[in-house]
Amino acid sequence: MAVQLGENPWILIGLIFLELLFVFIPALISSKLEKKTFQDIIKDMGFQKNEDLFIKIISGLSLGILLFFFGNYVIIFFREIIVRNLLGSDFVVLGQEGVISTEPIQPNLFQLVIFIILNLIIIGPCEEAFFRGFLIKKSQKKMKLAYSVIISSICFTFYHVPPFIVTIATIVTFFGYYFTFGLILSFIFIYFDYSLIPCSVAHSCFNILILLI
C-alpha cells in the first residue's frame, strides 16, 4: 500500500525542513574531519557567489521544464517496457502500490504557495548540495568522475525508494527512473562547472510542475 505523506499538507511542510539536514550534517562532519570551518565546507558544497547567475537560472528553468516532459518517457521506458516485460504486470502493480507519495493531497492556496517556496529554497538546493555538491566532489578526490556520478545517482535513487522502507518491487520498478534523473542532474552540475544553481533550479522547477500539473 502506498505511503501517503501528503495526507496532511502541514505535516508534509514540516517534514520538508528535515532536508536541511542534507546540508548541515555533512558540512558539520566534514568540518571536523578536514579541519576546515563550517562556512568553508558550505562553500565547497556550492553555496557561494556565482558568475552568470541569470544565465544559470534561465538554464535551470529550461532544463527543469524539459525534464518534466522527458520524465513521462523515462517512466514509460523503464516501468512499462523493461520491468513489465521482464517481471510481469503483477510485479509492476506491487511496485506502484509500495511508493512513498510526497504530493500534498488537496492543499489550499496558501499551502500550495508554501510548497512552491520550499521547493525553491530547501528541496532543490539541499538535495543537490548533498547528492551533487557533496557526494560527487568528495568522492571525486578518490575515484574517477564517472564512478562518483554513478554513486551519487544510486544514493539519490535510494533516497526516493529507500530499502527496508519500500518493497523490492518498488525499488526495481522505479530504480531506472530515479537513477536516470540522478545522472541528468549530475551532468548539469558538472557541465556548469560544479555550480549548484542550474541543477537546483531544474530540480525545483521539475518538482513544482509535478505539483501544479
Distances (CA, A) of 115 to 8, 64, 65: 13, 17, 18
pLDDT, tens digit, 9 for 90 and up, residues 18-57: 999 999 999 999 999 999 999 999 999 999 888 899 999 9
pLDDT, tens digit, 9 for 90 and up, residues 165-211: 999 999 999 999 999 999 999 999 999 999 999 999 999 999 999 99
Q: What is the pLDDT of residue 147?
A: 97
Mean pLDDT of 70-76: 94
Closest by CA to 80, choosing from 62, 92, 70, is: 92
Structural domain boundaries in the chain: 3-42+53-212
